[in-house]
Amino acid sequence: MFYQAIVFLPLLGAIAAGLFSLRQQNSAAIAVSVSGVVISFVLSLFAFAHVAMGGNTEIVSVARWINSGTFEANWQLRFDTLTAVMLIVVTGVSSCVHIYSVGYMHHDKAIARFMAYLSLFTFAMLMLVTADNLVQLFFGWEGVGVASYLLIGFWYHKESAHTAAMKAFVVNRVGDFGFVLGILAIFTLTASVSFDAIFADTASYQNAVITFSGISLPALEVVSILLFIGAMGKSAQLGLHTWLPDAMEGPTPVSALIHAATMVTAGVFLVCRMSPVIEYAPVALDVITIVGASTAIFAATVGMTQFDIKRVIAYSTCSQLGYMFFAAGVSAYPAAMFHLTTHAFFKALLFLGAGSVIHALSDEQDLRNMGGIWRKVPVTYTMMWVGSLALAGFPFFAGFYSKDMILEAAYGAHTSVGMLAFWLGCAAALLTAFYSWRLLILAFHGQPRASAEVMSHVHESPNVMTLPLIPLALGAIFAGWAGYELFVGHDMAVFWGDSIFILPTHTAMEAAHHVPLWVKLLPIVLATSGVLGAYIAYVKMPHLPGKIASACGGFYDFLFNKWYFDELYDRIFVRPAVVFGGWLWRRGDKGTIDYFGPDGLSALVGRLSARLVHIQTGYVYHYAFAMMIGVVVLLSWYFSGFGR
Amino acid sequence: MISSWPLLSVITFLPLTGVLFLMLIRGNEEAIAANSRLVALWVSGFTFVLSLYLYVGFDPEMMGYQFEERADWITGSGISYHLGIDGISMPFILLATFLTPLSILASWKSITHRVRDYMIAFLVLEVMMVGMFASLDMLMFYLFFEGVLIPMFIIIGVWGGAERVYAAFKFFLYTLLGSVLMLVCMLVMYQMAGTTDIPALAAFAFSPEIQFWLFLGFFASFAVKVPMWPVHTWLPDAHVQAPTAGSMILAGVLLKMGGYGFLRFSLPMFPDASEYFAPFIFVLSIVAVIYTSLVALAQSDMKKLIAYSSVAHMGFVTIGIFTLTEQGIAGAMFQMISHGLVSAALFFCVGVVYDRLHTREISAYGGVVDAMPRYAAFFMFMMLASVGLPGTSGFVGEMLVLVGAWEASHWVAILAATGLILGACYMLWLYRRVVFGRAEKPEILEMVALDRREVMIFVPLTILVLWFGIYPATLLDVMAYTVSDIMANVASDLSIQTVMR
């Protein structure tokens, strides 16, 4: 019951809150949803102690699910170290966000519905991380997608909000397409979808092939790449990232929980979970590394130019997810999970801090209309500093341990793609520090650019919103230091146990601890230069950015318009699909099938039976009658000698 | 004891007692209408309760047919009155008896003229549907199979929209063509096997050459009913013109006649031809999935959009059946039941707003959620079930079909899976345009919220869709033996043929 409670309490909270929302009993809805998640968090701590620290793996059967022939997917929960880490991250951040939302959504009449959605999301995410088979993981995967859809479109009056919600769902579906095919491929390969059965003897499938129209491809490569396509959708990797910035239309607590700390990391989790398979797929690993590294640099370049405070952080999330993927790609899964954990703390902190800023400035999100408020919101200001220091990877903050670990592992992999990832990652680290301090300076310093009216209302957020920031801030400061030995240090092998598998020939994790000194120092130097750059550009010489932007002209526009991905997709996929659909309907259904089929015939019949045309319902009886005549004629024909 | 009753016959013909009552009702127009509704609801409701015994008393681990009844019809001719159910027909009977009272409830207020005739048509329709699924004699099957169309023609033709005649006519033309060919094939089969008994025919070995032609004859009829591309164009028109309840039954049960026919006739009786034609059917089905999904994107009429989505979903069904794998067939069966519930609910969703605003144009709506929040929630749920969200019944069928399809051919699975993306596009877009946004038109703000009757229709559908999504064993277990039986027959027959060659 203990383990079921962790997963199902948030579901109960969501259902109860949903029912309360129908009766407009907001405080009851808040109480049940918050307590469900908080209790789940407390239980998760015990589970973490037992599973991750104690080295036990627990499998809990719940019920049968889809059984047909040899296909068997049951409701079954799996608690190993990988799950336990995710449990802490998910329930921990979710608890903070639930409490924060009580204050943030205070004025919203639909707060009960909001809390219900948040709890529903938490449940789906817990199903995802505790799944014992791929189909149940897919259940959680789609469940978080729906919760995200509901929450992005929470303010459904806004055109931009429900457009973004739909975009998020559809783009994720493109990824799901790969995920589902990956499940099918793995089932044909191993005759199972359960992790234990799949992982039991992965090495024996190394020579298995999957044949497409006569072309044989290595089965494990195909499986890994298909699953990675799913991960790309969920984790907003280059190509399938376009939904994430738009998802910022949702209320800010949603951005913190779903689009920063938990859901978007599901792809990284999936890759780590499938490490026993992916380890045998060298090409897939290289693909993951390249995609991850490209995303890291791409998103950082775009993040530099954006003016919406939430979009800057969203691109930063995208970029950090890229780091996690290239870590996984060089077989440094523990480093990826380590960064996932620390990132959850400081990114949630940044988002909630940004929410606090937005709240203080009467829902202003544009950095160009902020500034000069740091004295009025000291707590928020401090929190944003902590979050930015951790994100940029300054010494002894959380990001310092995890991001450097990733860069060192990429260097330590000693492969060409590893080196590519290392250098792109370093460049992204410079940009990360730059856009973080650009954000801090524009939002808090300089002359106030908001109207006097707005400025007179600037106030620090209430306690219910600032208190949840404290555990997150503590995480952003200490999580790296505290988790280092367990996640990626000496205790690594014992801690992860069987939950992560790394081929003995893949030594990036080990090599990461023995890189030259300059590799260890470079990220710090770059981060410092990034901060200095931002200081020069936005404090010392505030005219510089504009000059650079106009000097770069086309290149700046290219970055500012997010490399034109949205425009491109709109031209290639969206508009042609609608136009083509209309064409098929007019030319295919009506112009061809109907024209030569029923309409052609009807014209013929119409001419033959002109007399009956005026009898309105006569048609129906007429045809029924004709059918009967047909039967009679055929029967007579038969009995009159056919076949005798 | 109840088990000694001819239960299947009772369930099949019970609605006729309702017809009798309806004919006896006297009084003024108002009273007749009110009483007719009540009688029809009670009779169909009682039929449903009785049919539940078919589920309870069904032994899923028993081979062959259960609740069998047989009486000589034409002595010595091999034609008999033969009823019985197995794992593939029983769920359909329950689907039909479940949806009929809901459809009657759905027409409670929207049908105001000739109510008695309307209810008679629905009860007769129920007799025909249940009779068709329960028949184990080919001639009986044919009579019910064609008989179903007559009340449906009438429902569309009398209570339909402005262009009902065109729609009914189109429906008829397609159907007639298929029926005639099927009847010819049935006569040939009778002539060869000397019986119209379905189990006997399934055991009879038709030569592969004959199978080829027989398969095509039956295919002509079943493909129209499914409907498969390119003989699907009757469906959007029929749906648009049919009254809400007519659409619910049409999409919910009548579209399953084709799939059921494939499973009852084509696979067991013509296994060689089924294997031979499988690639051809894959092609048609994949075209259906992609083509009709794209066409659905272009629709401006809510009902047409959902009608086209039905064609796409039924494409999955035909793929599943002809993968000739256990998962594929079970998935197709599951998909049919699931689609029966979900599409009935979606058509009811359209009916609900149509009753209020009297238009099906998507652009006339927008912001409905403000006036009708509960409706928005039910619609959202059914929309997600339609796109195959895990945890709803829609997912289980699609997943199993894809598992079977991947086994049959990777490309079939890949192309069919694009339906997952396209389905999400048109359904979410529909939902967004109708429900989300700011309600600006005064008539939208004045729309009344769901009343108790409407909630009573949504709730059972929602519960079942959710239940089948979370615990599909309820259905999969009762089908499993029959499905593996069909599979075993097909496989053994094919292996014999291979040996002989």
Closest CA to B328 of B407, B417, B393: B407
ipTM of the modeled complex? 0.92
Using the structure block, give the residue that is written with the tokens 């902190």.
Answer: A349
pLDDT of residue A641: 45
Specify the higher pLDDT residue, B381 or A452: B381
| Mean pLDDT of all residues belonging to chain A | 87
Q: Percent of chain B at pLDDT above 70?
A: 98
Task: Encode pLDDT of B113-148 as tens digits.
Answer: 888 889 999 999 999 999 999 999 998 899 899 888
Q: Is pLDDT at A316 greater than 90 in this prediction?
A: yes
pLDDT of residue A56: 86
Please list every residue in chain B whose beta carbon sits closer than 8 Å to the beta carbon of residue A162.
Answer: 432, 436-437
Amino acid occupying residue B454 = E
Q: Is pLDDT at A592 greater than 80 in this prediction?
A: no
Could you tell me the residue ranges of all domains in chain B?
2-500
Q: Is pLDDT at B493 greater than 90 in this prediction?
A: no
Q: Is pLDDT at B204 greater than 60 in this prediction?
A: yes
Cα distances (angstroms) measured from residue A512 to each of A489, A496, A515, A516: 10, 18, 6, 10
Mean pLDDT of A524-551: 84
pLDDT of residue B405: 93
- What is the token pair recorded at A326? 């290239």
B172 touches chain A (CB under 8 A): yes
Segments in A497-617 forming alpha helices (H):
508-511, 517-535, 544-552, 554-560, 565-569, 575-583, 595-596, 598-608
Q: Which residue of chain B has the CA closest to A644?
A: B191
Total length of chain A: 644
Mean pLDDT of A434-446: 90
A 122-161 near B (Cβ less than 8 A): 135, 138-139, 142-143, 146, 153, 156-157, 159
A544 touches chain B (CB under 8 A): no
pLDDT of residue B501: 45
pLDDT of residue A296: 93
pLDDT of residue A630: 62
A557 touches chain B (CB under 8 A): no
Q: Is pLDDT at B190 greater than 50 in this prediction?
A: yes
Structure confidence at residue A635 as a pLDDT band (50, 70, 90): low
Structure confidence at residue A433 as a pLDDT band (50, 70, 90): very high
Task: Encode pLDDT of A118-172 as tens digits.
Answer: 999 999 999 999 999 999 999 999 999 999 999 999 998 888 888 899 999 999 9
B384 touches chain A (CB under 8 A): yes
pLDDT of residue A282: 92
B113 touches chain A (CB under 8 A): no
| C-alpha neighbours within 13 Å on the C-beta side of residue A389 | 18
pLDDT of residue A629: 59
Closest CA to A303 of A313, A293, A295: A313
Task: Encode pLDDT of A209-260 as tens digits.
Answer: 888 877 888 999 999 999 999 999 999 998 898 899 888 988 999 999 988 8
pLDDT of residue B289: 92
pLDDT of residue A390: 92
Q: Percent of chain A at pLDDT above 90?
A: 50
Please list every residue in chain B whose beta carbon sits closer than 8 Å to the beta carbon of residue A575.
Answer: none
Please list every residue in chain A whose beta carbon sits closer than 8 Å to the beta carbon of residue B409.
Answer: none
Q: Is pLDDT at A637 greater than 60 in this prediction?
A: no
A 212-241 near B (Cβ less than 8 A): 212-213
Closest CA to B245 of B168, B355, B150: B355
Give A130→chain B minimum CA distance, Å: 16
Using the structure block, give the residue that is written with the tokens 């056919």.
Answer: A642
Q: Is pLDDT at B203 greater than 50 in this prediction?
A: yes
**Are A181 and B414 within 8 A, CB to CB?**
yes
pLDDT of residue A616: 44
Task: Encode pLDDT of A41-63 as tens digits.
Answer: 999 999 999 988 888 888 999 98
pLDDT of residue A362: 84
Please list every residue in chain B whose beta carbon sits closer than 8 Å to the beta carbon of residue A616.
Answer: 165
Structure confidence at residue B1 as a pLDDT band (50, 70, 90): very low
Q: Percent of chain A at pLDDT above 70?
A: 92
| CA dist., res. B218 & res. B323, Å (int) | 18
pLDDT of residue A588: 74
pLDDT of residue B229: 81
Number of A/B CB contacts below 8 angstroms equals 192
A 594-633 near B (Cβ less than 8 A): 594, 597-598, 601-602, 616-617, 619-620, 623-624, 626-627, 630-631
Task: Encode pLDDT of A63-119 as tens digits.
Answer: 899 988 889 899 999 999 999 999 999 999 999 999 999 988 888 888 999 999 999
Closest CA to A179 of A154, A144, A216: A144
Mean pLDDT of A530-545: 84
Backbone angles phi, psi at A488, to 5 degrees: -130, 0
**Are A166 and B428 within 8 A, CB to CB?**
yes
Query: Ranked by mean pLDDT, which of B202-206, B236-240, B318-322, B497-501 comes out on top?
Result: B318-322
Specify the higher pLDDT residue, A600 or A512: A512
**Are A584 and B170 within 8 A, CB to CB?**
no
pLDDT of residue A607: 61
If phi > 0 it is left, if psi is from -120 to 50 it is alpha, else beta; for residue B496 that is alpha
Mean pLDDT of B477-499: 78
